[in-house]
Chains A and B, each alone.
Chain A
Amino acid sequence: NGGLPLVATTWRFTNATLRAYQSLTVGEFDPIEALVEGCSVCEREQCDGTVGFGGSPDENGETTLDAMLMDGKTMDIGAVAALRDVKHAAEVAKYVLRNTKHTLLVGSQATEFAVMMGFKKESLQTDASRGMWSAWKNNHCQPNFWKNVIPSPSMSCGPYEPVSANTIHHNADSSLDNPTDRSSFEFGQYNHD
């Protein structure tokens, strides 16, 4: 049992937690500002490679960012998803919250919004993220998130095309798909949403 004010954070991201707490108590920021301050620490520090630029490359080697802020008093929300080429996702989400009547902006259009709000456009790739992507590519693109496609996603990289519904129905093997089995994706401390 704690006492207010309080900040609680997933994982061992203590610098982010402390920054948010001090923003509340010393800086006397409002809770949304404190939340953004805290999350931004992790974006800069690339916490566990799971936050900010240079982590979790997609199949093309690109890093994209997602962030959301929810105000539990007004039920107002600002969020961005698949934000490309802008490092400060939580800050951009704050602009969605404060400067629009929308909830969620995505992809390249979210980038255009961020640039309009004064953010710099820059690549989110780093040597580390390029290395992660190369290792995955050299490992025949394993693991990946495809199913019911050819060539077999459990052995080959794409490009893929869908197998016919008929084939899926009659082929018990169909990419060995067990829809509830998530064990091969290696989610954990260093790979998670």
Chain B
Amino acid sequence: TISMIVINEEGHVVAGTSTNGARNKIPGRVGDSPIPGAGAYADSEVGAAVATGDGDVMMRFLPSLLAVEAMRAGLDPEAAGQQAIGRIAKYYPTFSGGIVVVTKDGRYGAACHGMEEFPYSVADRTVSDGDVRVLTVKC
């Protein structure tokens, strides 16, 4: 899955996903990626979050919505992501997944579970032209 957040100069926030899902799935199965609030959620008043991982589990908790709402309540992006991922890990300690969270003004963070580390990519005004920064967060 690629899950992506885009914010333009005017603060218009959008988010989305594209995926071919999980390997060996039962035909007809769909994961979290096309489900609003699960694979992605965006609100220009707050920011956005996008998730990736074991979609059967993640879609039960709407982690992207949870993270955006946590930011609305005052958490920074990393803490919001940790809270959303932590909610899932409490019930599914062996699940694997990650989340990227961005505020409407361009502050970002990530959180993950069940992997050693989770990489994510960022391009913004602070990176020189044609460059993308790859960051990793330890799970």
Contacts and interface: CB of A to CB of B under 8 A. Distances in A.
Interface of A: 1-14, 16-18, 20-21, 24, 30-32, 34-36, 38-40, 42-43, 47, 49-53, 55-60, 62-73, 75, 77, 79-82, 89-90, 93, 103-104, 106-107, 124, 132, 136, 141, 143-146, 180-183, 185-189, 191-193
Interface string B14-36: 11111111111111111111111
28 contacts: A2-B107, A3-B106, A4-B124, A6-B102, A6-B122, A6-B123, A6-B124, A9-B50, A10-B50, A11-B52, A11-B120, A14-B121, A20-B6, A36-B16, A49-B20, A50-B2, A52-B20, A56-B19, A57-B24, A62-B27, A65-B21, A66-B21, A70-B48, A145-B24, A180-B93, A182-B92, A193-B52, A193-B55
A39 B34 CA distance: 13
B94 A182 contact: yes
A24 to B, nearest CB: 6
Contacts of A56: 19-23, 25
B132 A66 contact: no
Interface in B90-107: 91-98, 100, 102, 105-107
A34 B4 CA distance: 10
Interface residues of B, number: 80
Nearest to B131: A18
B62 interface: no
Interface string B57-98: 110000000000000000000000000000000011111111
Nearest to B102: A8
Interface of B: 1-9, 11-36, 39-45, 48, 50-58, 91-98, 100, 102, 105-108, 114-115, 118-126, 130, 132, 134
Contacts of B41: 70
Contact of B8 (A4, A50, A145): A4
Given A21-B132, A31-B13, A52 B18 contact: yes
A124 B75 CA distance: 42
B125 A3 contact: yes
A56 B23 CA distance: 4
Contacts of A1: 106-108
A58 B29 contact: yes
Given A10-B52, A58-B25, A188-B115, A4 B125 contact: yes
Nearest to A141: B24
Contacts of B51: 10
Contacts of A62: 27
Contacts of B19: 50-51, 56, 65-67, 193
